[in-house]
Structure formats: C-alpha cells, structure tokens
Structure 1
C-alpha cells in the first residue's frame, strides 16, 4: 500500500518497505500542505505559513503535479475527475469555478463569497459552509449551476451519496435526499462534531469520536466506529478506544478494496468484519508522523 503524506513537498510512502519519494513540481520548504482525494487522484494544496490572513493555496492534481491554479477553498467533484474551487480576484472578490483535473475550466463560473468553504459535491448538489468561521456559520447543499438551496442545516457533518448526516447535541440525523425522509440515530459516543470519512462506494462511514481532552484531561483518544448506511447500525473498530499523542495530525482514509486505513506512528488497515487491524512493517518517523494521508 502506498500513501501520499502532507509533508513539504508531499511524500510518497510505502507502508511495508518504508521507501520514500517526493512529488516533483510541488514547492517545498516552510509551507502549509493539505491533501484531498478526488476519485483515484490526490489533490495537493500548498501555501506559505500564515497567522490571521492566509494566501490562496497553489493547487496540483496527482503525483504528476498538474497545476490547477490558486484557490481559497476546494471540493472534490461528483464525477471524480474534477474539483470545485473558489478563486480570489481581489481581497473581497471571489468566484466559484468548476475545473477538470487536467486543468480545464468547465463552464463560466459565478460570483462567490470569499468566506465560503467548499466541502463535497454529490449527485444532489454541492455541500458548502457559508460565513465560515463566524457566528453566522451555516451548512448548505446547493445546486452549483443555479445557486438554489437544496438543504440547509446548522451542522451538516457529511454528504454521502443520497444521504446527509446532520449533527446534533446528543444525536445524529440521516436525511435521505431521494424522498426527504429523516431518521434520528443515537451515536455510540456523545459528541456534537465527530469526524466522518465515507467509504469509496458510499455504503459505510467511518466515524471518529476521538477526543483531544478525554474526561477534561490532557489525554487524547481516538475512538473509530463504523456506521452502516443501509440499516444505520454501528460497529466499533477493533482496539478502540486508545490514547494517542497525534490526534490532530493522524488521519483516516479508505482504499478501493474497502479497507479502512489509519496512520498513527504506523500504518494500519482494517476490513469491516476482520478481528484486528493489519499493521504495515514500516514506521512513520520524524515529520512523517505529523502528516495527513491520502491512500493510493
């Protein structure tokens, strides 16, 4: 299994041999780096460090580093071969564009707020966060071609295929976009904003109820559960919960074969139904331990 790690420049890492390589064509040095997976292609976002005001990210597609220009926000396209980006024309002037992973602009684009955060596109619309980082923050699923609101809620945690998962104080709500029906489900751990990572085929969601301050202590914990989106039942992943010192820097992703992959000092993979995690032979050391991951 190979992973792309968000170092500067990004590192290609073999979980069994420990062989490392870098992505050529992407700037290195003291830069912020993040990764998003678009279908089978990793998308790299990199920019200089910032405090309050951050510059737009330089965006590259794939390990061949196809340049896609600059963006203040980016979301994977539903076709798995494009991205939606918000580009900044001036300090207070931005536009929404649809761009293929080959760098071609699709359509004419439209005016957008520079404070909008793009999240994910599904066949039912584009999930965005409006007024991101303010007291007026709201999550909206829109038709990106017309701007029409499809669904709106204070907290949409994820858009997965035909479903939205809404966050609440003590429960979650699953919205079926095909008929508008809603069903509340009780999570196994009470947390208002767990991290949700949908499987690639959309039948499951890995839900991390990790805590940066377990029981008001300085202990960080990770607690991964699997939500079956068919019958809305829960299954706890093996060896959970556990304490960790890298909660903010380790990450989860899925493979094409339905394995859930976790990087936390070592790389571990688990297929739902298996009794234990399978551990990679190579350890993540140094800067690699604090890098987010995209599985290829």
Structure 2
C-alpha cells in the first residue's frame, strides 16, 4: 500500500525546512524507485520502520534493515526499493529548505547518505508520526508544528550520526554518550580523566580520542562545561556564597573557578548572578 500526502506551500516562507509531501509504503513487495538526475528537486528522506530494502550506491547494492534510512539531496539520481521477500514499512518525506544546508553539512549531495538510527530511533519515528498526522489533517495554524517536527527528525539523525560511521556501527558511540551522561550526573564529585577512563574501561589516551570522536570535545572539556553549567544553576537559584558554589560544583579552588567562569562566559560569577539571579 502507498500513502501520499501533499502539502500546500506554507504561508510563512522562511521555515528552515518544510515538507513538500510525505507518506508511507508498506505491504508492497514491488516498490522500487528509479529517478534520473534532476527529476526530484526536493530532499528525499526515507526511514525504515520494519522489513528490509536497499539503495544502489556507487554501483553497489546496499542492504538496509529496519532502523536505518537514507537521504538524497535535491536533483540527485535515485535508485532504491524494497526487499520483495520482506517488504519494508518505510516512512518518507520530500522537503524543501531555507537554511537547512549548514545543519546537513552536504549530506545527500553527490551521493546518497546512509545512516542507522541507533539510540535516536524512537524519537525519530515519533517525530515522523507526528509530522504525518499533522500533514494528513492539514490546518494552516499547524505549519510551525509541521516544520518543527521535520527539523526534530533531521537534528536527531545528525546528532546520532556523528562524524565517524565506524563508531556508530561498533556501538562505541553509544557507550561514549553513556559516559557523557555519567559525567554530567556526577560532575560535582572528584572526577578526573583517569577515573573516568577507568570507569569506561580504556586508557586515558585511547578514551580521550574516542570520546572526542563521538561527543565532539575532550572528556576534560566536557567535565568543565558540566561544572560551569551546575555553577550557573547555583548562582541563579541559591543564596550560596561564591566560594561554596565553587566547591559544590566540583572545583577545589574558588580562585580557579572564578577565573575559569570568566574565561568561559565573559562574566564573573557575581556579575552572572546580578544579571540573571
């Protein structure tokens, strides 16, 4: 079966992204699309909810299971389809753009972008379901919510994809995000690079490299950011003295805390409190 929903042009012309159409293919063992270059002028996004499919990329057939997907850029030639033995349930969106390019960083341009959803799968599928529901019962007042749902899908995909597909395939990326959550939850404690690396099961050098690949910054920098964020909360929500806030946020010396806070925010802790407290 094939579901197609076409949307009218939005009344507000400056959404970062907005669907031209969306829909679903399921229980259709003969579904296949072959489009020459220049035929489709919008981005083409597919998310496989169940079943299997494939994409032809660089002359090779790339098998795609449930929990994966692909993105073609505007004007690209396209060749993809379902597995006739296990037809996919795939949700799709054709969308235009007005500032989405910096977020996508060229993905889908020149060659199809293949991805797996991993830990963002539920969030992406829920946002797609919301997008489809709002589009199917279109009302002009829902334009912002439709655009926001599509943006949430794209942002979640890019957050999950990271910079190295090798990490996503091996599961290392997911583990590093678990470590990041641990750092954030325990930043006020006596953590350091060695203790965090030990907990993660790596040497400090190896841990620093793979954490930076996954999260985009070193573990020590991430720890410092978490402590500064905690200090901001203390500054605006409690009457604690600056020295006490430094201690409660994981800093052993208030003078270092004040200097670091100023370097990272452009304000002293007291100035921050006076401005936002």
TM band (smaller chain): under 0.3
Q: Which of 1 and 2 has greater Rg?
A: 2
> Given the two structures, how large is their TM-score scaled by the length of structure 1?
0.23
Higher share of residues assigned helix: 2
